[in-house]
Amino acid sequence: MSGEAAPRKGPPLGLRLGIVSSIIVVGLMGVLVFFEQRKMDRDERLHSRSSMETVLAILAEEIGKQVDAGGVEKEVEEFLTAQQRTARDPIRVAVLGPDGGIVAGTAALAGEPLRVSMEVRSDALPGGAGTLVMEQSGGSLEREVVERTGRLLLDVAITALVLLVALHLATRALVGRPLEHLLATVDRMEQGYWRNVDVPGGAWEMRWLAWKFQGLGERLDGLLKSIVGARALPTPGTEPAPASCRGLPGDPGRKAGCVPAITVATIEQRLAHDPRSDAGWSRRISARIVEALEEHGVEALGIEFRMKDATSAWWKMRSKSLRLEDLEDLFAFRIIVPSEQDCYAAVRIIHSTFAPDLLRFKDYVRSPKPNGYRGIHTCVADGDGERFEVQVRSTEMHEQASHGTAAHSRYKAWIELAGMQDTARRGSPGNA
């Protein structure tokens, strides 16, 4: 544990995520509302101008039929009267002569934002032509734009508030409470209570993390018990004392450093009734290994399987002061791949396919055995919790282990499952 003080407690995670997410959403929605409002304003103005041009074209046609100034003035007044009844804002209409002076209509133009004009021809106009101008203040359009903008901003604010509350509640349920549970679990583990780690609900990441803590606690607990219960092995050439078998209090099955408490015949019976001794189980695991390797582009030149014989298991229990349950290599698969690089790739795939026991990982490729044996050994468990060893070798390592300096005079049977030419292979118990 470092000497640094623990980090200060800050605002809840859900509240922080909610605030940050709301700021981002409000910013994005604000930008979208701004551009959408500008587009709607532009479209409204274009529509208003188009409507004004349409009615102004009708007026221009009627003015073209007049023969005197009085007729032109009358048409303009009737047009203004009709338009003022339906228009939302004041309208000004005027007929301008060639010199820009007003010939008929409104006495003065105000230069309103909505303004359209078109050429008009009539014998009643000076020079036979003029310009017809129509203006509208557009005040109602501006008010409508402001009201619509206010409604949109209110919608954005309500959305941000709902998002803030929803994210806070969801994060609290999926992350906050499970995280508090995990922190309490870590506190208990710091006090030495490593087992019985409960897996809380919530997001799958939190459940996965709790499950990993659970497995870590169990392994640490077992490792500590092994360290506490360990004693020095007898010196070479001396026999262990059967009557003083060492072990942890309350663990009568552990007869460390002495003759195993069970016989070879008992081991044979237990192995025979073990689910892993069934041929169907080894075929299923082998098929799963092959499928995983092929999926990741690693070629398996061969896969072998063996069940440790009872005599070999008994001797290993005696020499290493283990229980039968402690033997991780009772059932083992051997994978042969083309190269050393493929060995490490295959191990990564095996660890991602099954549940690895990292405390039982042995890299004899980088650190070969004294007899020159090279390979990678790892222990994993399938979905039912059945544990087994996986050995990975390259073809060169396999040849050396079978016939080179790493070969041993005593052999165990390995049964071909995939890719091997022979129906059975033999491997050294020291290397298996």
Domain of 117, CATH number, reads 3.30.450.20
CB 89 within 8 Å of CB 52? no
If pLDDT is split at 50, 70 and 90, which confidence band does 96 have?
A: confident
Has residue 113 been placed in a domain?
A: yes
Q: Are 126 and 267 part of one and the same domain?
A: no
pLDDT, residue 234, reads 34
Report yes or no on 205 lying in a domain: no
Q: Positive or negative, the Cα torsion across 148, 149, 153, 156? A: positive
Quick one: 275 and 406 in the same domain?
A: yes
The predicted pLDDT at position 148 comes to 78
Examine the fold and report which residue of 85, 116, 142 is the final residue of a domain before the chain moves on.
Answer: 142
Is position 158 within any domain? no
How does pLDDT run across 302-337, given as a tens digit for each residue?
Answer: 999 999 989 988 988 887 767 787 788 899 999 999
How would you classify residue 222: left for phi > 0, otherwise alpha for psi between -120 and 50, otherwise beta?
alpha
The answer to the question of residue 149 being in a domain is no
Tell me the Cα Rg of the chain: 44
User: Residue 362: is its pLDDT beyond 70?
Assistant: yes
- 402 and 267 in a single domain? The answer is yes
Same domain assignment for residues 127 and 272: no
Of the candidates 120, 142, 164, which is a domain's last residue?
A: 142
pLDDT in tens, 249-297: 333 444 444 556 688 899 999 999 999 988 899 999 999 999 999 999 9
Q: Between β-strands 331-337 and 387-394, what pairing exists: parallel, antiparallel or unpaired?
A: parallel
Domain with residue 264: its CATH number is 3.30.460.10
With respect to residue 41, please indicate whether it lies within any of the assigned structural domains. Answer: yes
Residues 408 and 280 occupy one common structural domain = yes
Least confident of 32-46, 191-205, 220-234: 220-234
pLDDT at 185 over 50: yes
Q: Is the pLDDT of residue 238 over 50?
A: no
pTM: 0.41
Q: Total structural domains in the chain?
A: 2
Average pLDDT over residues 413-423: 52
What whole-number distance in Å separates Cα of residue 379 and Cα of residue 388?
Answer: 6
- Asked if residue 43 belongs to a domain, the reply is yes
User: Which pLDDT belongs to residue 299?
Assistant: 92
Highest mean pLDDT among 77-81, 360-364, 382-386, 407-411: 382-386
Return the pLDDT at 378: 92
For residue 332, the SS3 value is strand
Which residue range(s) make up the domain with 111? 13-142
Query: Is 239 a member of any domain?
Result: no
> Do residues 131 and 120 lie in contact, with contact meaning Cβ atoms separated by under 8 Å?
yes
Last residue of a domain, one of 83, 116, 142: 142
- Residue 81 inside a domain? The answer is yes
138/262 same-domain check: no
Instruction: Give the H/E segment covering residue 377.
Output: strand 376-381
